[in-house]
Chain A
C-alpha cells in the first residue's frame, strides 16, 4: 500500500515543473503544454484524495477538469494561430501591445 503522501509529492513535483515551464520557456505552445502538466498534477492529487476517502468525488471532478482542459486547449490554440498570423512569431515578448 502506497501512502497518500507519495502521490501528493509526485503531484507537487509535476506542478512545479509546469510552473517552471510557464516562467522559463518563450514559446507559446510550450507554455500551453506546461499548463496541461499543471492541470494533470492537480488531477493526480484529486484522484489520490478521492481514493483515500473511498468515494467517487475525486473521479468526477477530474472528469470535469478534463473537459475544461479540452475547451482551454481549443481556444488557446486558436489564439496562438491568430497571433502567429499577425507577427510570424511564437515568442510571447513579440505580443507586448494590446492593439495593433
Chain B
C-alpha cells in the first residue's frame, strides 16, 4: 500500500515538474523544476533497489549538470522568450500547421500507449525476481563495472576528456590565445 502511494506520488511529481519545465517562459524556473523532477526520479530509483544510481542522479544530475545550466542561464542574463514576437515569426505557429509540435507529441504518446498495450508480459510485478538486498549492493555493482564493463568505463573517461576540451574550445572568445 505504502509502496503504491510512494510510486504514484513520486511519478506524479516527476511528470508535473517536467511539464512545468516546458510550461513557462523563465529558464531559471525551468532549471529549478527540472531539479525537482530529478529528485522525484531518484526516489523512484530507490524504490527499484538502485540506491547507487539514485545517489548518482542527485549528485551528477541535480548537483553538477543543473548547476552548469544555472551558471549559463545567469551568465547569459536569462533572456525570456518574447511571446508576441515568437507567435508572429515561429514557423510552427502559422495557420494550418498550428500546434504542430504539440500534435506530434500527442501522437507519440498515442503510439507509445498502443505499443505498451500490445506487448505481452509487462504486467509482472517489478520486484518479483532477484534478491532486492543483493541488487542494491554497491559493492557488486562496482565489481561488475570494473570487470565486465571496464572497456566501456575507460572509453567514457576519454569521452569526458574530449568533451572538456571541446567545451573550453567552443566557449573561448575568438581572438583569445
Main secondary structure of the interface of A (DSSP, over half): helix
Instruction: Say whether B37 contacts A93, CB under 8 Å.
Output: no
Residues of B within 8 A of A24 (CB): 22, 92, 101-102, 105
Is B36 close to A, CB under 8 A?
A: no
Instruction: Say whether A51 contacts B79, CB under 8 Å.
Output: no
Instruction: Say whether B156 contacts A67, CB under 8 Å.
Output: yes
Contact count band on A: 35 or more
Which residue of chain A lies nearest to B54 when distances are taken between CB atoms in the complex? A47
Best-buried of B22, B30, B65, B91 by chain A (most CB within 10 Å): B22
**With contact pairs A23-B102, A25-B81 given, residues A70 and B160 touching in the complex (Cβ less than 8 Å):** yes
Instruction: Say whether A20 contacts B126, CB under 8 Å.
Output: no
B residues touching A (Cβ–Cβ < 8 Å)?
Answer: 3-4, 7, 11, 14-15, 18-19, 21-22, 25, 27, 30-31, 34, 37-38, 41, 44-45, 47-50, 52-53, 56-57, 60-61, 64-65, 68-69, 72-73, 75-76, 79-81, 86, 89-92, 100-102, 104-106, 108-109, 112-113, 116, 122-131, 135, 140-141, 144-145, 149, 152, 156, 159-160, 162-164, 166-171, 173
Which residue of chain B lies nearest to A69 when distances are taken between CB atoms in the complex? B65
Instruction: Say whether A21 contacts B21, CB under 8 Å.
Output: yes
Instruction: Say whether B64 contacts A70, CB under 8 Å.
Output: yes
Cα distance A13–B111 in the bound complex, in angstroms? 11
Cα distance A84–B108 in the bound complex, in angstroms? 32
Instruction: Say whether B102 contacts A5, CB under 8 Å.
Output: no
Residues of A within 8 A of B52 (CB): 59
* 30 residue pairs A–B, Cβ–Cβ below 8 Å: A4-B124, A4-B125, A17-B22, A19-B104, A19-B105, A20-B101, A21-B21, A23-B105, A24-B22, A24-B101, A27-B80, A30-B21, A30-B27, A30-B30, A33-B22, A33-B34, A47-B44, A50-B50, A53-B130, A54-B129, A63-B56, A69-B61, A70-B65, A70-B160, A74-B164, A78-B166, A81-B72, A81-B75, A91-B86, A93-B89
The contact of A52 among B37, B92, B101, B124, by CB within 8 Å, is: B124
Instruction: Say whether B81 contacts A27, CB under 8 Å.
Output: yes
Cα distance A10–B17 in the bound complex, in angstroms? 13
Cα distance A71–B64 in the bound complex, in angstroms? 11
Residues of A within 8 A of B173 (CB): 85
Instruction: Say whether A7 contacts B18, CB under 8 Å.
Output: no
In whole Å, how far is A63's beta carbon from the nearest beta carbon of chain B?
Answer: 7
The contact of A82 among B50, B123, B159, B171, by CB within 8 Å, is: B171
Residues of B within 8 A of A53 (CB): 129-130
Residues of A within 8 A of B86 (CB): 26, 91
